[in-house]
Structure 1
Amino acid sequence: MPINYKEYHPQWKQISKAIVARGKNQCELCGAPNNQIVFRPVKGSELPRPWYFDGEVDDCGYKGCYTKIILTVHHIDSNKENNSQLNLIALCQKCHLRLDLAKHIYNRRMKRLGIIRKLEAA
């Protein structure tokens, strides 16, 4: 989902760059490297890590896919106004989605019921 910069701090691009740099350009949960293409095995795979560089595994024997890692910055408390260093963490797409999953499920249900559209129209 594209970011709406109007909802963030005016210096958000600089803030997020600093957080990614603090995390050594890697996902702070799984260690996936920013701007690299990696192999992601499917859940339940016997492979011990959540990602691998090309050539590290013979992916012919494993189910999964190659994906480009793009780090984004996550607000731990979900408050976009709280830009404290302690509240921000650099995450890959998979980890960011996993942490926000409950919120995404809730929003999808509300949209399906028409509740969010009614609130947005008010």
Structure 2
Amino acid sequence: MPIRREHRFFYPIDWPQLSAVIRFQRAGGRCEVCRRPHGQTVFHLGDGRWWDAEAGIWRDGRGKRVCVVLGVDDVFGSVRGTRVVLAAAHRDHDTSNNAAANLAAFCQRCHMIHDRPEHRRRRWLTLFRRKALGDLFRGPYA
């Protein structure tokens, strides 16, 4: 994922190399949560279940094997393809903490799920800041 301009100084100079070690040497080119492979297009149902072509099985959002029943699940009507890109993520959301134990290799889906509380917190701060600036310069809201 792209690094925001205001956060770049938190990352070390060798971040691309550190990220590559986490994603490809430690994680083996797969997401550490759901096991989706980097750089490949995976077919998924939109609810976390995806087709693991290497093993020939369906997996859930945690990488565990699941059974998909053709009569119950609308597999053919809801299958979509997504290209998987791994990113190195900070487990504690502290961009200055670059210890190997704090870094994880996540696919897009797992990264967004992991970052959801932090995104919600930042969104609240942004909205609160906008409202405060509006109250300060334009008066209270009607």
Q: TM-score range by the shorter chain?
A: 0.7 to 0.9
Which residue number corresponds to residue 3 of structure 1?
3
* Alignment partners' CA distance in 1, 2:51 and 2:33: 15
- Mapping 1:84-99, distance limit 5 Å: 84-99=99-114
Structure 1 residues 117 and 62 mapped into 2: Cα distance closer, same or farther (>3 Å)?
A: farther
Whether 2:47 is the aligned partner of 1:39: answer no
- Output the amino acid matched with 1:70: V
User: Is 1:30 equivalent to 2:34 in the alignment?
Assistant: yes
Contact 1:70-1:93 within 8 A present in 2 as well: yes
> Which runs of structure 2 are paired with 1:1-122 in the superposition (5 Å)?
2-4=2-4, 5-21=8-24, 22-43=26-47, 50-52=49-51, 61-115=76-130
Contact 2:93–2:118, Cα closer than 8 Å, also in 1: no
Number of residue pairs the alignment of both structures matches: 112
> Is the 8 Å Cα contact of residues 45 and 75 (structure 2) preserved in structure 1?
no
CA, structure 1 residues 97+116, in 2 after alignment: closer, same or farther (shift >3 Å)?
A: farther
Cα deviation, 1:7-62, whole Å, max 9, x if unaligned, reads 3111100000000121000000000000111112122xxxxx732257x6898624
TM-score calculated relative to the size of structure 1: 0.76
Q: Per the alignment, do residues 64 and 107 of structure 1 end up closer, same or farther by CA in structure 2, a change over 3 Å counting?
A: farther
> What is the TM-score with the length of structure 2 in the denominator?
0.67
Judge which range, 63-72 or 4-13, deviates more: 4-13
Larger radius of gyration: 2
Name the CA distance, whole Å, in 1 between partners of 2:92 and 2:75. Answer: 40
1:116 and 1:28 map into 2 onto residues whose CA distance is: 39
TM superposition shift of 1:84: 1.1
- Identify unmatched segments of 5+ residues in structure 1: 44-48
Is there any run of 5+ residues in structure 2 with no aligned partner, and where? 59-69, 134-142
RMSD: 2.8
In the TM superposition, residue 83 of structure 1 has moved relative to its aligned partner by: 1.2
Percent identity for Structure 1 against Structure 2: 30
**Match in the other structure for 1:46:** none
Whichever residue aligns with residue 72 of structure 1, its letter is A
